[in-house]
Amino acid sequence: MAGNARRPEARIGHDARRAATRTLDAALREGRLDLAEYERRLVLVQAARVRKDLTPAVADLPEGSRRTGPGLRISAADRERALVRLAGALTDGRLPAPDYADAEELLNRAVTYADVDAVVGTLDAKASHAERDQAIARIEAAVAGGLLDPAEQHDRVAAVRRAATDAQLAALVADLPAGAGPARSPRASHADREAVVAQLHEAVEAGVLDLPEFDERVRAVYAARLRDELTRLVADLPEPAPASPSPSIGVPARKRSLRAIRVTPLIGTLATIPAVGGAVVLGSLGFTVLAILAAIAGAAVLAVLAVRLVRTATAADEESAPEAEYRFPPGVEPFPGRAATWVDVDPAEWTPK
């Protein structure tokens, strides 16, 4: 019996008409129907005798048909949300200003969800001002890193400003690095080119390349745009040797220590003169205790400087000790008929005679 009640030809009673009327009332409150449309449909509901007579009155209303889809009528709240999205798209650049008035008029006339989707459904795929700025920043960073030349920069920035969708923007920067992530761009940077030129220099020094080949490859390096092009230019060359740590350059330890040994007595003399002079003056004035304290202070200064002098000389001997002893080949006598005598001489102080 329940299945027969749902057939289009099944007759309906007061309950079915009241349910349809409630659906029309809700649609009127929500703005899905205007008053004229509501009254027209209400007449259809009251005159309906079988179930198929109710279909034209409630088929496109969500509550009446229990359906969802693009063919259902929108509410006033749905229209307002669509208008807010449209205004936001105008603000962030996803919708050009000349197109806004036409889009707003279409929304105000929209009846179904399909009508709304035709106006605002593609807004999320549009390129905004912020997305264009990000793309331009990536292009400028690529120019700074040598991935693009200024002519390419000009063309790409112009294309970015004309881009209408996110897909178009993505295509314009697809070969550029997106930031500090691990992924590298396929394009060659200044650093990539300099590394290849350094490898070519090493190949010339090792005799692997002659100068005409070197010149030809260097020109090709600076004309290359992709890292694969650089790789092919050095594919037949040996791998570059790892860089060895450069030796530290400075004053030899013994020379520094000799300077300290010479300067220390001078500092001691200058430091003790005021102490001795002060003690003599205080003693002559009758301040015996103060004179004794001044003499003690001078003696303490001399003791400290003497300890420092000894430590400096010891450190000089330790730092200047040879790391490896030179040995003459077997059977070679360095000084025939004489015993070898080693003399420690500072090279800076040695003068040939």
Residues 160, 198 contacting (CB under 8 angstroms)? no
Q: What is the mean pLDDT of residues 251-257?
A: 47
Residues 283, 293 contacting (CB under 8 angstroms)? no
CA distance 311 to 326: 29
Residue 191: pLDDT band by 50, 70, 90 thresholds?
confident
Q: What is the mean pLDDT of residues 4-31?
A: 87
Residue 123: pLDDT band by 50, 70, 90 thresholds?
very high
pLDDT of residue 77: 93
| Single-letter residue type at 218 | V
Please indicate whether residue 175 or residue 342 has the higher confidence score (pLDDT): 175
Residue 136: pLDDT band by 50, 70, 90 thresholds?
very high
Q: E-strand spans in 46-146?
A: none
Share of the chain above pLDDT 90, in %: 37
Least reliable range by pLDDT among 88-92, 126-130, 345-349: 345-349
Q: What is the mean pLDDT of residues 105-131?
A: 94
pLDDT of residue 162: 92
pLDDT of residue 66: 64
* Non-local CB neighbours of 265 within 8 Å, separated by 6+ positions: 305, 309
Structure tokens at 124: 């999320």
CA distance 54 to 64: 10
Residue 290: pLDDT band by 50, 70, 90 thresholds?
low
CA distance 114 to 322: 91
pLDDT of residue 325: 46
Residue 184: pLDDT band by 50, 70, 90 thresholds?
low
pLDDT of residue 61: 92
CA distance 239 to 190: 20
CA distance 324 to 341: 17
Residues 257, 315 contacting (CB under 8 angstroms)? yes
pLDDT of residue 6: 65
Residue 230: pLDDT band by 50, 70, 90 thresholds?
confident
- Alpha carbon 173 to its chain's center: 16
Average pLDDT of the chain? 77
Residue 1: pLDDT band by 50, 70, 90 thresholds?
very low
Q: What is the mean pLDDT of residues 64-83?
A: 86
Alpha helix segments (H runs only) across the chain: 2-5, 14-30, 35-47, 51-58, 62-65, 76-91, 97-109, 113-120, 129-144, 150-162, 166-172, 190-205, 211-223, 227-233, 253-284, 288-319
* Burial (CB count within 10 angstroms: exposed 0-12, middle 13-18, buried 19+), residue 322: exposed
Q: What is the mean pLDDT of residues 285-303?
A: 65
Structure tokens at 215: 């010149």
Residue 217: pLDDT band by 50, 70, 90 thresholds?
confident
- pLDDT tens, residue by residue, 314-352: 555 555 544 444 454 455 454 455 454 444 545 555 455
Tally of CB atoms within 10 A around 42 = 17
pLDDT of residue 48: 92
